[in-house]
Amino acid sequence: MKMTYREAIRQAMHEALAADPRVFLMGEDVGRYGGTYACSKGFLEEFGPERIRDTPLSELGFVGAGIGAALGGMRPIVEVMTVNFSLLALDQIVNTAAALRHMSGGQFSVPLVLRMATGAGRQLAAQHSHSLENWYAHIPGIKVLAPATIADARGMLGPALADPDPVVIFEHAQLYNMEGALPDDWRCDITTAAQRRAGTDISLITYGGSLPKTLAAAEQLAAEGIAAEVIDLRVLRPLDTDTIAASLRKTHKAVVVDEGWKSGSLAAEVMARIVEDCFFDLDAPVARVCSEEVPIPYAKHMEEAALPQAPKIVAAVMMVLGK
């Protein structure tokens, strides 16, 4: 079945709402407007205002309400319009949702799913375009997911809702219009990375909106006779270091691609784990391709220059391979 990434998310939410009366959706413009990215179009008419709740423009307030509902036995899906706006709710996410199981000695859990758009490439400038996934992947007490394929967009919500602890799902805004076939085996876990392309010469490790660019780079490299293996992290916390290590034991070289900034990035964490766990498997230093250390620009040519792109990935591979 062919569909868009957006429709895959919509189907996943529809299935959850239809199957479990405890599930409800809340956030800015999720009801009457049908969602900022049209992922909940038609839901208000079908499920009603008790289960499709438009909220005020107060992330701190409605994320907190979602936490309270989860503590009360509901299964809320809370949509934050963009990752930049989620910073207004960091206190609720970090100090409350992520910490309550620990702070209560295991007496309470917060089965909350928090969805948000992330990433650049749409000329929305610095307040709507950043990639802050690593900030959340730093926090114990939550799971962090980054579905980069139509199958994962369809398959990750179910297990996220079944998890007793908070799960944050990052949907790269550049992927919503991506179209492709939904495979029969779209159901997936939320614990493991995925191999998206097999190869023997170098491992390209990435996630989210950088996956299509990394696959495009792998195609270009194949034309040069270089077989690049592509690993989609897809679960940013906890990181699946076993899949990374298995790839490195085969290729012995790696480039990490991350739309976050280089300083303090998820790429840095992946590189550190490679050095810790796979140092003697390496035949060359690990390289990374990240966004430039600037707020994301508005101008299209500057925005494109600031972000990881396939040519930059190819150049990094050639450097690692000494070509």
- Told to judge if 252 belongs to the known catalytic residues of this protein, a careful annotator would answer no
The CB density around residue 182, as the number of other CB atoms within 10 Å, is 18
* Helix/strand number for the chain, H first, E second: 14, 14
In what order do the strands lie in the sheet containing 143-145? 52-54, 23-27, 75-80, 113-118, 167-172, 143-145, 235-237
CA distance 95 to 274: 30
Q: Which of 7, 59, 79, 259 is catalytic?
A: 59
Q: Which of 28, 128, 259, 269 is catalytic?
A: 128
Residues contacting 143, CB < 8 A, separation 6+: 160, 163, 165, 166, 167, 168, 190, 235, 237, 238
Residues contacting 259, CB < 8 A, separation 6+: 119, 120, 131, 172, 208, 209, 210, 290, 291, 307, 308
- The set of catalytic residues is 59, 128
